[in-house]
Amino acid sequence: MIVALAVFLPLGGCGSDSGDTGKTTASVGSTTVETGSLSKKEFTDQADAICRKSIGEARKEFVAFLKQHAPRGPQEDNTVVATELVETVVTPHYQEQIDQIVALGAPAGDEDAVAAFLNAQQEDLEAAESDPLGFVEGGSKFPKATEQATAYGLLVCGDSMVA
């Protein structure tokens, strides 16, 4: 189990939320993004900084999780461990990223692209929550979000989602 979980170590990502403040908004799936005041460069720099900080924190929690949940033998239920990992480490960090990046607001004219990325992140997170073992043992952890983040120019958020 530790070997399978170790593949997961890289973390990063982003997601959804919005309020009604009268600003221009774009919605993709369940994600609504308002226009913010940042340029694209400022947005990508700040979003990548959010991801970078979250990755560091998640890695520390991941290592602590592995130490606490070392396999106790070949009969240990990997699904139970994977579920706990997703619930206690993955979901809180990705949801926090989602909330923080939504709060930045999208650069004017990029609302649809940012909403698409954040919606993909939310969908990938929901897929991890519905199949924790598949998520832990699979290859790319957030395939839709990775593609969208990279296409938009989010270097840390995009790269950090690939195991």
Q: What is the pLDDT of residue 14?
A: 41
Domain presence at residue 125: yes
pLDDT in tens, 14-56: 433 344 445 677 666 677 889 999 999 999 999 999 999 988 8
Domain presence at residue 111: yes
pLDDT in tens, 48-78: 999 999 888 888 998 899 888 876 666 567 8
Domain membership of residue 117 as a residue range: 36-70+78-159
pTM above 0.85, yes or no: no
Domain presence at residue 102: yes
Domain presence at residue 14: no
Contact (Cβ atoms closer than 8 angstroms) between residue 86 and residue 124: no
Residues 6+ apart with CB under 8 A from 10: 55, 141, 160, 161, 162, 163
Q: In the chain, at which residue ranges do the beta strands (DSSP E only) sit?
A: 25-28, 31-34
Domain tally, the chain: 1
Burial of 92 (0-12, 13-18, 19+ CB in 10 A): middle
Mean confidence (pLDDT) of the chain: 80
Higher pLDDT, 151 or 8: 151
Cα separation, 129 vs 38, in Å, equals 32
Cα separation, 75 vs 99, in Å, equals 38
Cα separation, 14 vs 26, in Å, equals 16
- Residue 34 CA neighbour count, 13 Å, CB half: 15
Higher pLDDT, 67 or 138: 67
Q: For the chain, how many residues are written?
A: 163
